[in-house]
């Protein structure tokens, strides 16, 4: 499935290769946010203290993750040197693709310990063969994957430098252009991602990575019809797990859940490596959770974690499904473990809301800590070139500065018109009292047929606020019928609003 746009990861991992003692080739110090940067004046002194503590905790999380990686057993990666070029293929299970193969790279394919070994091998090779343009392209892409899978946005500037080096050595080479597309998408610059993917495909129409990046970019730009055609083209040229999962997501966005499920099951049957199994099973879990099928979702997440017990989307998804199934304390324990290693907006907000819903002694303070960490993640992400406006809008609308949420949502909407940006802007407008402006956007968010209970909840509340009582009640009932546990706080608020509208 196409990567979710609010799944970028942040942390404090060093820009140096673990244990190398020298900077990797292509690296340079990344800008870091100052821990004492004051928040909005309206948050006051207590808010400033929370932000400082949050930034410090992000650094601690990164150090804890790095220490765990160093303590684990070293995994040697077979590195193929073919004609001076170095290629990293299905590194999750130790196998290497031929140098000519351009395998699409997803979190489930290049995550895990072997990625670090691949990076170390590439760095060593490039010290002795600094004019290997293919090696620089592969290193750049590996840095992108480290940023996405290990909570290290400082890798993005390193990736950019390595990819530029590849293009300087071999202008127009499709490997580096595809890498630039992946980097742009990881930074949420989807217009650039599309441009680079198209350039790569002009050089190599069968490049799987570029074909997949093109689908991703079109989806995240809201050009769903074109994305569907791009998925069909990719399926004709390079059928396989990366293309199947993207095709499924396009079908889901257009409301065809049975087709999405069927394609994902076919992809799971075709998955050969543990990384592919974890990736596809987690997408099936997410699809089931979106439909309120919690037992099925938990089954798929278990299958994903059996293949890779560190796979973040499965760990986060399991926590959400546990919470929706009524196992709140178990969900809290699981999500605490997730955010200790990966302090990302999605799981941070989910954990904060679980604390609020539980309401035990100290839970309010614990919830505030999670929401403050979202600000810390945003600062780190932006310092490394990531557009974080969608994440900011979604978190701040309910748990932060409402004016900032609206500014961020408007900025994101100006860049791209998707169901997700329409929903975020509609909700930010609502919490700021602009319901008439919000209504058409809330309806646009559900117009493609995409089945999302949070979108329906937002639409229902806005419809009630604008006097469309019958429509509002229908939207709220649809949200609760589709996924009655879609949010620890949102579902309760939806029930309350529905009761009040009788």
> Per-residue pLDDT tens for 382-413?
888 888 888 889 899 999 999 999 999 999 99
CA atoms of 136 and 132, how far apart (whole Å): 6
| Token output for 409 | 């949502």
Quick one: DSSP state of residue 371? H
Q: What are phi and psi of 432, to 5 degrees?
A: -100, 5
CA distances from 264 to 216, 228, 271, 284, 450 (A): 17, 16, 10, 7, 17
- CA atoms in the 13 A half-sphere facing the CB of 174: 20
Burial of 362 (0-12, 13-18, 19+ CB in 10 A): exposed
3-state secondary structure of 3: coil
Reported as a single tens digit per residue, the pLDDT across 295-324 is 999 999 999 999 999 888 999 999 999 999
Closest CA to 167 of 203, 220, 128, 114: 203
- CA atoms in the 13 A half-sphere facing the CB of 140: 27
Quick one: DSSP state of residue 17? P
3-state secondary structure of 86: strand
CA atoms of 407 and 431, how far apart (whole Å): 12
CA distances from 147 to 84, 135, 156, 382, 430 (A): 27, 18, 7, 13, 34
Low-confidence residues of the chain: pLDDT under 70:
1-113, 150-151
Is the sign of the CA dihedral 415, 418, 420, 426 positive or negative? positive
Find the DSSP H helices in 95-132. 107-110, 113-128
Q: What are phi and psi of 115, to 5 degrees?
A: -65, -45
Strand (E) positions, 66-181? Answer: 80-82, 85-87
pLDDT (0 to 100) of residue 201: 98
pLDDT (0 to 100) of residue 277: 95
pLDDT (0 to 100) of residue 151: 64
Residue 415 and residue 402 in contact, taking contact as beta carbons nearer than 8 Å: no
pTM strictly above 0.95? no
CA atoms of 298 and 278, how far apart (whole Å): 13
| Token output for 225 | 């019809």
3-state secondary structure of 206: coil
CA atoms of 228 and 224, how far apart (whole Å): 6
């Amino acid at each position: 499935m196409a990567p979710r746009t609010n799944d970028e990861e942040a942390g404090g991992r060093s820009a140096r290769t673990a244990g190398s003692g020298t900077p990797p080739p292509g690296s340079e110090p990344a800008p870091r946010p100052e821990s004492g940067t004051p928040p909005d004046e309206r948050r006051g002194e207590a808010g400033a203290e929370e932000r400082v503590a949050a930034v410090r905790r992000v650094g601690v999380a990164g150090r804890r993750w790095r220490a765990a990686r160093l303590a684990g057993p070293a995994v040697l990666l077979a590195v193929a040197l073919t004609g001076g070029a170095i290629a990293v293929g299905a590194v999750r299970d130790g196998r290497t693709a031929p140098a000519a193969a351009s395998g699409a790279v997803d979190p489930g394919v290049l995550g895990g310990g072997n990625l670090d070994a691949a990076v170390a091998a590439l760095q060593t090779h490039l010290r002795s063969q600094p004019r290997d343009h293919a090696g620089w392209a592969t290193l750049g892409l590996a840095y992108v994957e480290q940023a996405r899978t290990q909570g290290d946005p400082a890798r993005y500037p390193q990736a950019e430098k390595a990819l530029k080096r590849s293009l300087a050595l071999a202008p127009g080479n499709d490997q580096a252009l595809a890498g630039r597309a992946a980097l742009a998408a990881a930074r949420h610059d989807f217009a650039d991602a599309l441009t680079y993917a198209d350039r790569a495909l002009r050089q190599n129409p069968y490049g799987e990575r570029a074909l997949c990046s093109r689908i991703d970019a079109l989806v995240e730009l809201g050009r769903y019809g074109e994305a569907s055609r791009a998925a069909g083209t990719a399926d004709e040229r390079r059928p396989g797990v990366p293309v199947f999962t993207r095709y499924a997501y396009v079908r889901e966005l257009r409301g065809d859940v049975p087709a999405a499920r069927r394609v994902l099951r076919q992809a799971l049957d075709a998955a050969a490596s543990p990384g592919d199994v974890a990736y596809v099973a987690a997408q099936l879990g997410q699809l089931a959770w979106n439909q309120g099928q919690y037992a099925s979702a938990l089954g798929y997440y278990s299958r994903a974690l059996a293949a890779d017990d560190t796979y973040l989307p499965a760990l986060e998804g399991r926590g959400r499904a546990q919470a929706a199934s009524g196992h709140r304390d178990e969900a809290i324990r699981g999500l605490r473990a997730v955010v200790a290693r990966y302090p990302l907006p999605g799981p941070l907000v989910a954990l904060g809301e679980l604390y609020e819903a539980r309401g035990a002694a100290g839970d309010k303070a614990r919830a505030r800590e999670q929401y403050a960490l979202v600000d810390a993640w945003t600062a780190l992400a932006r310092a490394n070139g990531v557009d974080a406006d969608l994440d900011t809008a979604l978190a701040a609308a309910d748990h932060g500065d409402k004016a900032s949420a609206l500014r961020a949502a408007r900025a994101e909407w100006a860049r791209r018109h998707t169901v997700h940006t329409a929903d975020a802007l509609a909700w930010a407008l609502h919490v700021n009292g602009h319901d008439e402006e919000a209504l058409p956007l809330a309806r646009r968010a559900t117009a493609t047929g995409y089945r999302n209970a949070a979108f329906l909840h937002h639409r229902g509340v806005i419809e009630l606020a604008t006097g469309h009582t019958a429509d509002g009640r229908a939207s709220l009932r649809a949200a609760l019928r589709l996924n009655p546990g879609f949010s620890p706080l949102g579902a309760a608020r939806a029930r309350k609003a529905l009761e009040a509208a009788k």
